[in-house]
Structure 1
Amino acid sequence: MYEISIEDTFDAAHSLRDYNGSCRNLHGHTYKVIARFRYSQLDEIGMALDFRKAKEALRSVLAHFDHKYINELPEFSAQNPTAENVARVIYEKLKQKEPQLFSISVWETATSCVTYFENE
């Protein structure tokens, strides 16, 4: 089994509704996102996944969030833009482009991360 990881970042703001703490206020992050893909076989030239193709797919998904107020995105009209929910939404969007996606990790800070993956 091969696991391929790529990472990228985006900048965005959010606020947490009904949260009793400073994160209820508008604030921003430089989010780091790590996408992990799993493959059991290599192609005819010995690659599981072309890094360039995977990076382009991830960038196209993250462009939806970049320099936005996440609360105003349609996906977050009825749910809080927590790191957990952001990770799941990114996962769902990227999975449509890259079916071998295994997980998405979203870092809000250098020390705080959430990883989303579906049950196998």
Structure 2
Amino acid sequence: MFSVTVRDHIMIAHSFRGEVFGPAQRLHGATFVVDATFRRPDLDDDGIVVDIGLATEQLKAVLGELNYRNLDDEPAFAGQNTTTEVLARTIADRLAERVAAGQLGGGARGLTGITVTLHESHVAWASYERALPGSTAVGEGTA
């Protein structure tokens, strides 16, 4: 399996519901380093997994929808805790939609999966891995 990873970051504000979150129940900020890894079993006709420039652009665009936002005010997250895991899934699903729409180029049709990892710090991170439509890769989700 081949993979290419691109990286960016986001800064958000949010709060959590539930005693398990302790002081994080109050409004607080978070900065995440975000890695998006694109996978496929074989390289395309140009010898690449995906166009790194397009992958970088699309990750930046997806993150731009979240950056500098209070996620408590975002309708897409109404009624749910915006944990690191939930954000990783949201970003992966939004990238998958862009792959399906052709925004990562024609060669991206051969991608079989995406993994998004949000690094909360140098010692803690969470990931979400999903298959892309038409693939037999491990993971869940639909575009």
Same fold judged by TM-score > 0.5? yes
Kept after mapping to 1: 8 A contact 2:92/2:130? no
Kept after mapping to 2: 8 A contact 1:75/1:89? no
Partner of 1:68: 69
Aligned partners of 2:7 and 2:23: how far apart in 1?
28
User: Is 2:72 the counterpart of 1:80?
Assistant: no
Partner of 1:15: 15
Indicate the SS of the match to 1:71. helix
Paired residue type of 2:11: D
Aligned partners of 1:43 and 1:88: how far apart in 2?
26
Shift of 1:48: 1.9
Q: Which structure exhibits the higher relative contact order, with contacts defined as CA atoms closer than 8 Å and separated by 6 or more residues?
A: 1
Alpha-carbon deviations, 1:2-49, whole Å to 9, x = none? 111111101111111223511111111111111111122323332221
Aligned partners of 1:54 and 1:89: how far apart in 2?
16
Unaligned stretches of 5+ in structure 1? none
Shift of 1:116: 0.6
Unaligned stretches of 5+ in structure 2? 101-110, 132-137, 139-143
Partner of 2:32: 31
Q: How many residues align?
A: 120
Indicate the SS of the match to 1:109. coil
Partner of 1:3: 3
Kept after mapping to 1: 8 A contact 2:39/2:114? yes
Kept after mapping to 2: 8 A contact 1:104/1:116? yes
Of the candidates 88, 110, 128, which is equivalent to residue 116 of structure 1?
128
Paired residue type of 1:116: Y
Alpha-carbon deviations, 1:79-100, whole Å to 9, x = none? 1111111111111111111253
Kept after mapping to 2: 8 A contact 1:29/1:109? no
Runs of 4+ that moved beyond 6 A: none
Paired residue type of 1:18: G
Shift of 1:108: 1.9
User: Is 2:50 the counterpart of 1:49?
Assistant: yes
Give the strand-richer structure, 1 or 2. Answer: 1
Compute the RMSD of aligned alpha carbons: 1.6
Quick one: percent identity of the two aligned structures? 30
Paired residue type of 2:28: H
Indicate the SS of the match to 1:106. strand
